[in-house]
Amino acid sequence: MKPKYLLPHLYKKIGWIILVPASILGICCFIPITENTLPNKWFHQAFGETLEEVTMFLLFAGLLLVSYSREKDEDEYISRLRLESLQMAVIVNYVLLIIAAFIWHWLDFLSVMMYNMFTILIIFIARFHFLLYRQKKAAA
């Protein structure tokens, strides 16, 4: 059965090329500004607020390209792993969101929601690739 909504495998490499620098930029961009974080202060003075939007766009683009690209050997087992990983990612994401709703309130919760947008894709990628790695290791 051929998956309908997956991108070609080449897009996974492009996604990683976008995702790694965007993650580093995101870490630099979204760390709260204090007197001790001079690189972050320099980032905000040099690039302003548009850097945050560009960083979020690049993170989403990279995560989506990595998540929804075919594997080299896409078969029904990989499709099943993909589905199970996505289900687990959604469950873990909502459990984390429920916990965060009890811990953080008002404006702090907006920051939690911003980070929460990325967690489904990050958990999915981590679990899916871990299961692929474990399956390949067991086969060898």
Quote the pLDDT of residue 91: 96
Q: What is the pLDDT of residue 84?
A: 94
Q: What is the pLDDT of residues 49-91, one digit of tens each?
A: 677 788 889 999 999 999 999 998 888 889 899 999 999 999 9
Residue 17 has pLDDT above 90, yes or no: yes
Per-position b or e across 17-48, b if 16+ CB within 10 A of its CB: ebbeebbebbebbeeeeeeeeeebeebeeeee
Residues 91-136 have pLDDT tens digits of 999 999 888 888 887 777 877 888 888 899 999 999 999 999 998 8
- Comparing 140 with 11, the larger pLDDT belongs to 11
In the block, which residue shows the tokens 């979204």?
Answer: 30
Q: Output the pLDDT for position 115.
A: 83
User: CB under 8 Å, gap of 24 or more: what pairs does 102-105 form?
Assistant: none
